Amino acid sequence: MAATSHAVSAAAADLAEARERTLALIARLSDEDVETAHSALMSPLVWDLAHIAAYEDLWMVCRFGGGELLQPELAAMYDAFETPRAVRGDLPLLDRAQALDYLAEVRERTLAVLERRGVGDGELFELVLRHEQQHNETMLQAIMLARLLPAPALRQDPRPAAPGGHTGLESVEVPGGPCRIGAGRFGFAYDNERPRHGVDLPAFRIGRTPITNATWLTFTEGGGYERREWWSDEGWSWKEDYDITHPGGWARGPAGWKQWRLDGWAPLDPAEPVVHVSWFEADAFARAHGARLPTEAEWEKAATWDQAAGRAHRYPWGAEPPCPHRANLGQTGFGPHPAGAHPEGASPCGALGMLGDVWEWTSTEFDGYDGFVAHPYREYSEVFFGDGYKVLRGGSWASRERATTATMRNWDLPLRRQIFSGLRLAWDA
Ligand SMILES: [Fe+2]
């Protein structure tokens, strides 16, 4: 009984912390900014708010608690699959005040369910908690893309100094041979991370850090966006159609290149990983450097595989959950940290910054591992398999610590760059 009530109060505290963050992201924004669809790529922020409530109501109150939906008439409008992003701005959405009420009412129902039933095996609770945390990252993408100010009401942590010497072009060797990939049977993981399986990879080299802004700037100014031979056919036509000449969020000012950050324009920091590049750009950049993007299996091996011990770590540095000196996660960095700023987060092969800072594009198309079983619903990942989505790995500065592991897979289309996406190169050994 004591254990149950301890688990319930821990769950309630986790939910409260996640909610505090959700509300902090929009606290300083005007109603208009919260309610407007700023881009067809992103939902109005107010959609995310009510969607978080609808999801929690469905999974905690109904599926786990056996109750009825609070507002069944809203279910379709706030279902991510039934209502794609591009149309969300045209719907009669709840306004900000209504969405906040909906969030609060559902939360009361959730807490009542937890009191009555405990957390069970914790799986649906974890799904719901991480869902809210992941939407916080999506909301930050929308906030950055629309350049909304003032910045979220978050604590901003001091930025670590640039250690120097990292461009993204330095590499570490990953020995060839068998390793294990994916999430094991125990503990929380998404369906697409399972089953854990063996792969046998030839030796390869992988970037010690992600590619930095300085290195990308050399590419930009060295004709990277003009040299046809570096681009795939699809990438070239995307670049031409959208007149892409530099990463998202960059602009050239009288004083040099600047970059849009969460709190406004700032001079481009040469030491930070480049962010807001599409897969097409990442692929062209790799070709220009006689390199390639890592496959997702290579990425995971470099991030987790301990060759000496013959096993994978849960995190690059070992088993302990993320903390600020090992990885820049949690949003309070307000952007990526300089490449190589967290040597204590090194993976067994010596790669740095595998978790946090920027999502890293891989060459792999998103699909299920052999033996995949959809859980708890097909629309989480299965419906995206084989549809041209590329896998990204490692989370970003805007990912929450709890929602980020080394087996976690993200996916997006190769032309997208609203996501906090960068890259790390790979080479055949
Ligand atoms: Fe969602």
Q: What's the CA gap between 350 and 172, in Å, rounded?
A: 7
Predicted confidence at residue 169, as pLDDT, reads 98
Range 237-244 average pLDDT: 98
Give tens-digit pLDDT for 348-364: 999 999 999 999 999 99
Range 89-109 average pLDDT: 95
Q: What is the DSSP string of 353-368?
A: --SBSSEEEEEEEP-P
Note residues around ion ligand 1 (Cβ under 5 angstroms): 80
Is the model more confident about 80 or about 54? 54
Predicted confidence at residue 392, as pLDDT, reads 98
Give tens-digit pLDDT for 260-286: 999 999 999 999 999 999 999 999 999
Token digits for 365? 């198309």
Measured on CA atoms in the order 264, 265, 266, 272, is the torsion positive or negative?
positive
Asked if residues 197 and 371 have their Cβ atoms less than 8 Å apart, the reply is: yes
Give tens-digit pLDDT for 170-222: 999 999 999 999 999 999 999 999 999 999 999 999 999 999 999 999 999 99
Scan for tokens 């929450």, then name that residue. 400
For residue 90, pLDDT beyond 90: no
Q: How far is the CA of 46 from the centre of ligand 1 (A)?
A: 13
pTM greater than 0.85: yes
Q: What's the CA gap between 341 and 333, in Å, rounded?
A: 12
For residue 3, pLDDT beyond 60: no
Range 362-385 average pLDDT: 94
Reported as a pLDDT band with limits 50, 70 and 90, residue 416 is: very high
Q: What's the CA gap between 63 and 50, in Å, rounded?
A: 18
Measured on CA atoms in the order 304, 276, 426, 233, is the torsion positive or negative?
positive
Predicted confidence at residue 81, as pLDDT, reads 84
Predicted confidence at residue 243, as pLDDT, reads 98
In this structure, what are the phi and psi dihedrals at residue 238, rounded to the nearest 5 degrees? -60, -45
Q: What's the CA gap between 8 and 158, in Å, rounded?
A: 34
Token digits for 107? 């939360």
- Nearest partner of 40 among 76, 83, 8, 88, judged by Cα: 88
Predicted confidence at residue 2, as pLDDT, reads 47
Q: How far is the CA of 78 from the centre of ligand 1 (A)?
A: 9
Q: How far is the CA of 45 from the centre of ligand 1 (A)?
A: 12
Q: How far is the CA of 131 from the centre of ligand 1 (A)?
A: 6
Give tens-digit pLDDT for 326-352: 999 999 999 999 999 999 999 999 999
Q: What's the CA gap between 119 and 106, in Å, rounded?
A: 16
Q: How far is the CA of 42 from the centre of ligand 1 (A)?
A: 12
Q: How far is the CA of 344 from the centre of ligand 1 (A)?
A: 33
Range 53-70 average pLDDT: 97
For residue 84, pLDDT beyond 90: no
- Nearest partner of 281 among 353, 211, 237, 231, judged by Cα: 231
Mean pLDDT of the chain: 96
Token digits for 142? 């929308």
Predicted confidence at residue 168, as pLDDT, reads 98
